[in-house]
Chain A
Amino acid sequence: GQQVMQIPQYQHVQEGEDFTTYCNSSTTLSNIQWYKQRPGGHPVFLIQLVKSGEVKKQKRLTFQFGEAKKNSSLHITATQTTDVGTYFCAGNQGAQKLVFGQGTRLTINP
């Protein structure tokens, strides 16, 4: 079945440092989504990428979708304490079955 792998599992940075998490799928995806879950909260949608090679930005966050539509990345520039949480990618293979990666838990030293 479809598998979505995400690395790293944990990342600790100093405030102001950059952060990147990577997502890889065993199958070609129709789209990929990114979510953020704050400690004690529920996942909240950040963005969706649909096109091969697509790059989208949200302020300090940059999202990329690979040319083969099997991998994606989220990069945060100059992290702030408000960025703390777990970031998940989720792949959709077109059958409305949304499969999540294991998530990358980001902690920040102020």
Chain B
Amino acid sequence: DGGITQSPKYLFRKEGQNVTLSCEQNLNHDAMYWYRQDPGQGLRLIYYSQIVNDFQKGDIAEGYSVSREKKESFPLTVTSAQKNPTAFYLCASSIIQGGFTEAFFGQGTRLTVV
């Protein structure tokens, strides 16, 4: 059953702690993305990756880090430098060929700082 999986669904973090959000896809997609969504807001791009071992900053990369060691995996670490991390985090993937770039989203991780 192909798809994109994010875990955990809910995550609670104490202030000052780093936390890593998982994103795995078995769609054989080259591109992967991380977005942040705040209540009633749109999707803001954090990081994206087009190929293994390479990634680019999006519009709000400060306080976040990523890695792309495998094609299937694109974990996001929310560091203590991110001052307002409480949000809904969405991971997505898409193909890179023929100009068609439909993005498939995971179910999201809701992160709360306590």
Contacts and interface: CB of A to CB of B under 8 A. Distances in A.
A and B: real partners? yes
Interface of A: 1, 6, 30-31, 33, 35, 42-45, 48, 50, 88, 90, 92, 96-103, 105
B18 to A, nearest CB: 25
A90 B58 CA distance: 14
Nearest to B48: A97
A59 B48 CA distance: 33
Interface in B29-76: 31, 33, 35, 40-45, 48, 50, 56, 58-59
B11 interface: no
Contacts of B43: 43, 88, 100, 103
Interface of B: 31, 33, 35, 40-45, 48, 50, 56, 58-59, 90, 92, 94, 96, 99-108
18 contacts: A33-B101, A42-B90, A42-B106, A42-B107, A44-B105, A45-B103, A48-B100, A48-B101, A88-B42, A96-B101, A97-B56, A98-B48, A98-B101, A99-B59, A100-B35, A103-B41, A103-B42, A105-B40
Contacts, number: 62
